[in-house]
Amino acid sequence: MQAAVYTGKGVIALQTRDNPRAGADEVLVRIHAASICGTDLKILRGGHFRVGPDETRVLGHELAGEIVEVGAHVGHWTVGQRVSVVPNIGCGHCAMCRKGLNNMCPDYRAFGIDIDGGFQQLMRVTPAALYGGNLFEIPAGMNYEEASLIEPLSCCFNAWKDLAVTPLDRVLILGTGPIAGMFLQLAKAYGARQVIVVGRRAARLAEIAPLGATDTVDSSAVDVLDEMQRLTGGRGVDVALTCAPAPELQVQAMAALARGGRMNFFSGLNKGTTVQIDTNKVHYWGLKLLGSTGSSIQDYASALQLVESGQIKVTDVVTHRFGMADAVAAFDHALSGQGMKTILYPQEARL
Ligand SMILES: [Zn+2]
Ligand SMILES: [Zn+2]
């Protein structure tokens, strides 16, 4: 089989490997769609604390495929079932795992990080993933590309559910990547009265706005906070999400919040970066400053329903698709920052 392998900082190599086999407590999945995420790019740049710059790993944690082999001890799952996975596998016995928060487990393992992931033609689903409830059957009517994007949507949903958005709310989304796109879709699905997206490139704003924005703000052309005041009639926004790893966006989001405002610092900053907070504003205005990382199995199940029901058209964030022969080009493309979501189709040579 072929695999696109991270072989050290900055390098993805297309390799031919022996076909893996399912162990007695595993299933083997033929990967049909795997989406490139900012986390994959972070690893590729050598900036992820769990993947060393000299390690070798098949990246990819946003994936979907079809079961082609089932281990002797495995019940329920059968050859031919279409499946996707929740990538973060909790230890199963810590306080976070006991609450069902596999994404908060300090000892988690994850596909595409500690375990070979989706950018290969065949992937083993480990016993811990199988028995931890990380494998999902794809509902009838949902295609592999949609299923591969449930994972990033589930991370968005994890942040979103705590913001308690209603049709009364004005929502601010800072950033123009696929995560920003998914938050626009959520804001629209939840009926937010106003959805403002901020970016620094006009072309990206034009690309992302149809996903659900009522207003766009080009931060290279106007003062974001002045424009926020103008667009909201001086009220500020009720909800804000930062979707790019820039400290100035966090500052802008906090400054733009109205009384009773809620926000989520969704994109993490580089390690060691800090941002000043006006705690008097938090105190007197009753702000809720939240964070979240990854998604639990429950978040994943919720995101799956949002796509299955047609409320979120998750593939609308996809702008580029590549076959396996062009896997290296797919990463180069994603690294260049063009377009929103890039999908690899491991069973196709070229698209
Ligand atoms: Zn991801
Ligand atoms: Zn745990």
- CA–centroid distance, 105 to ligand 1, in Å, is 17
pLDDT greater than 80 at residue 47: no
Residue at token pair 């016995």: 93
pLDDT greater than 90 at residue 2: yes
Region 277-283 average pLDDT: 97
- CA–centroid distance, 41 to ligand 1, in Å, is 10
**pLDDT bucket at 240, cuts 50 / 70 / 90:** very high
| The pLDDT value given to residue 244 | 94
pLDDT greater than 80 at residue 248: yes
Strands (E), the chain: 2-8, 11-16, 27-36, 57-58, 62-70, 82-85, 88-89, 109-110, 122-125, 135-137, 170-174, 194-199, 215-218, 237-242, 257-264, 288-290, 318-323, 341-345
- CA–centroid distance, 231 to ligand 1, in Å, is 32
Percentage, residues of the chain above pLDDT 90? 95
| The pLDDT value given to residue 141 | 95
| The pLDDT value given to residue 93 | 96
- CA–centroid distance, 99 to ligand 2, in Å, is 9
| The pLDDT value given to residue 49 | 83
Average pLDDT, rounded, for the chain: 96
C-alpha angle 285/166/249, rounded to 5°? 55
Distance (Å, rounded) from C-alpha 299 to C-alpha 293?
11
Which listed ligand is nearest to 103 at the C-alpha? 2
- CA–centroid distance, 147 to ligand 1, in Å, is 13
**pLDDT bucket at 40, cuts 50 / 70 / 90:** very high
Kindly list the distances between the CA atom of residue 61 and the CA atoms of 105, 137, 227, in Å, as whole numbers in the listed order: 17, 16, 37
- CA–centroid distance, 152 to ligand 1, in Å, is 5
Residue 230 contacts by C-beta under 8 Å, 6 or more apart in sequence?
none
Distance (Å, rounded) from C-alpha 251 to C-alpha 163?
18
Kindly list the distances between the CA atom of residue 227 and the CA atoms of 182, 197, 221, 232, 340, in Å, as whole numbers in the listed order: 23, 12, 10, 9, 25
- pTM of structure: 0.97
**Cβ atoms 161, 103 nearer than 8 A:** no
| The pLDDT value given to residue 181 | 98
Region 191-204 average pLDDT: 97
Which listed ligand is nearest to 296 at the C-alpha? 2
Region 291-316 average pLDDT: 97
Sequence letter at residue 291: G
Which domains does the chain possess? 2-154+295-345 (3.90.180.10), 163-290 (3.40.50.720)
Among 140, 117, 155, which Cα is nearest to 33's? 117
| The pLDDT value given to residue 177 | 95
pLDDT greater than 80 at residue 269: yes
| The pLDDT value given to residue 52 | 82
| The pLDDT value given to residue 337 | 86
Which listed ligand is nearest to 38 at the C-alpha? 1
Which listed ligand is nearest to 295 at the C-alpha? 1
32-36, 152-156, 163-167, 266-270: least confident range: 266-270
pLDDT tens figures, 228-238? 999 999 999 99
What are the tokens at 228? 């926020």
**pLDDT bucket at 123, cuts 50 / 70 / 90:** very high
- CA–centroid distance, 146 to ligand 2, in Å, is 29
Sequence letter at residue 177: G
- CA–centroid distance, 35 to ligand 1, in Å, is 8
Region 82-111 average pLDDT: 97
Residue at token pair 């938090």: 282
Region 229-255 average pLDDT: 97
What are the tokens at 279? 């705690």
Distance (Å, rounded) from C-alpha 294 to C-alpha 11?
25
